[in-house]
Amino acid sequence: MKPRICNFLPVPELLSAENILCIQPHPDDMEIGAGATIARLSRSGKQVTALTITDGSAGTYQPSDKPGEIARTRKAETENSAKLLGVKKLIWLDYADGGNLPYEKIRADITGTIRSLKPDAVMVCDPWLPYEAHSDHNRTGLAAAEACLLSGMPQFCPDDLQKGVMPHSIEMIAFYYTAYPNTLIDASDTWEIKLAAIDCHNSQFSGEKGEKLKEYLTARSEEQAEKENCRLVEAFKVLTVTHLHIFEETWQC
Ligand SMILES: [Zn+2]
């Protein structure tokens, strides 16, 4: 049985979005979480912009690696991947990677970006993923959710008004990396693009590690696709911004 809140607040159709802002904590998250759907949206003429919160400089286990060099490598990898996915514009906030994100600052930056670009949909990692231990992910997801909830209210982050950046309300938020999906997007035609986009991140997923990740993602996707009568899917929790405040049934939507 559907939760009662769905009669009052239907779950929006992700593929109906025209202008999508995809927010990722690190270079590579959008590909893993939503790459096939991003490719599908951009192939059908939709505008997709990627906002990356950190510079990715902590993406190594080698003490001798230089953070600045890692960040430069990962930016180049993301530029290559964005071309495959059809993401036309990349915005970098360049906060230091590694678990020290200043919550209120990134919330203000995300709010300003939403108000400037005026997307109808925002994609971001789900901050309510039960066992997610990386605070870059939890803070990015929550800051984005709060920015989506409040970006239409002029007194929230009011500095934007002084700069002539007007409030803007979005239609929907789509969480990737979610434990509570309510939307399965048919990814059969763009799955290979997603895998190729992951391959662009050679500094993170070379050799066996990359192969294992792609095998896992494909097996998980096939399992979820059984319900949808298609070959491969990507899973999202899609909500209106109204769902994001006070409603105890939202997790069940
Ligand atoms: Zn990440």
Report the SS3 class of residue 162: helix
| Tokens standing for residue 1 | 């049985």
Rounded CA-CA distance 5/23 in Å is 27
Question: Residue 87's closest CA among 24, 141, 142?
Answer: 24
* CA 92 to ligand 1 center in whole angstroms: 14
* CA 136 to ligand 1 center in whole angstroms: 7
What pLDDT is stored for residue 196 in this prediction?
98
* CA 137 to ligand 1 center in whole angstroms: 6
* CA 33 to ligand 1 center in whole angstroms: 10
The model's pLDDT over 84-136, given as tens digits with 9 standing for 90+, comes to: 999 999 999 999 999 999 999 999 999 999 999 999 999 999 999 999 999 99
Q: What is the pLDDT along the chain (253 residues), one digit of tens a residue?
A: 789 999 999 999 999 999 999 999 999 999 999 999 999 999 999 999 999 999 999 999 999 999 999 999 999 999 999 999 999 999 999 999 999 999 999 999 999 999 999 999 999 999 999 999 999 999 999 999 999 999 999 999 999 999 999 999 999 999 999 999 999 999 999 999 999 999 999 999 989 999 999 999 999 999 999 988 899 999 999 999 999 999 999 999 9
For residue 242, give the DSSP letter: G
* CA 15 to ligand 1 center in whole angstroms: 24
* CA 32 to ligand 1 center in whole angstroms: 9
Tokens 């001798």 correspond to what residue?
A: 64
The architecture CATH gives domain 5-244: 3-Layer(aba) Sandwich (3.40)
| Tokens standing for residue 57 | 């400089």
* CA 62 to ligand 1 center in whole angstroms: 18
* CA 53 to ligand 1 center in whole angstroms: 10
What pLDDT is stored for residue 33 in this prediction?
98
